[in-house]
Amino acid sequence: MAELRVVVDHLRLNYNGPFDANALFKYINAFLFERGFDLKVDKEFEQNTKTGKQIEWLIMPWKRISDYTRHHIKIRILVYDYNKVDAVVDKKKVKVGNGKVVMYLDGYIEYDQEDRWESIPFFQFLRTIYNNFVYKVYTERFEQRLSYDVHHLYDTIERFFNMYKHYKVVSNIPPFASAG
């Protein structure tokens, strides 16, 4: 088993309001694709419940940084009570999804991905020495890059949700408010 280190631990994002789940998933996929991540889908769960759809999406994309190092980002999205509702945007009525989202982002860095330094304890010791002292500069740089990517993704998703700020769900608009 290669050495796996947690760099970003459980970055959490909560959102409650209008958004398009399919657009969110596509947005994240596009982000990862642009940055050269390979896709790994672990779970795709969708359940139609009385209160709306319940979706769990778990992916763990990875990217090879070198022969020795690999980045993993674990994205877990839970959507609850997701329903299609009427909303008003730019004085036009549109159909949009509405629900609650909880999202967790984790960043892992994997060293010695091909298990070349695993066969005997002495090699593992050497690997640790190299990772922590000899190649310390590279190790830290790889960790920073991963941290940057995960936080960038987090900001991107926040921006995605911000786009829906102008959507006013019809059922939530008070009767005295003017549409738009």
Q: Which residues bind other proteins (CB under 8 A)?
A: 21-22, 25-26, 29-30, 32-33, 39-49, 53, 55-57, 79, 82, 97
Rounded Cα distance, 26 and 23, in Å: 5
Query: Shortest Cβ distance from residue 162 to other proteins (Å)?
Result: 21
Rounded Cα distance, 25 and 34, in Å: 14
The string of DSSP codes covering 47-101 is: EEETTEEEEEEEE--EEE-SSSEEEEEEEEEEEEEEEEEEEEETTEEEEEEEEEE
Token pair in block for residue 10: 């459980």
The residue among 85 and 139 lying less far from other proteins, judged by its C-beta, is 85
The residue among 26 and 166 lying less far from other proteins, judged by its C-beta, is 26
Query: Shortest Cβ distance from residue 174 to other proteins (Å)?
Result: 29
The residue among 24 and 109 lying less far from other proteins, judged by its C-beta, is 24
- Are 79 and 21 contacting, i.e. CB atoms less than 8 angstroms apart? yes
CB-side neighbour CA atoms (13 Å) of 24: 30
The string of DSSP codes covering 107-126 is: EEEEESTT-TT-SSHHHHHH
The residue among 131 and 153 lying less far from other proteins, judged by its C-beta, is 153
Query: Shortest Cβ distance from residue 19 to other proteins (Å)?
Result: 11
The residue among 9 and 42 lying less far from other proteins, judged by its C-beta, is 42
Three-state secondary structure call for residue 7: strand
Query: Shortest Cβ distance from residue 61 to other proteins (Å)?
Result: 11
Query: Shortest Cβ distance from residue 128 to other proteins (Å)?
Result: 26
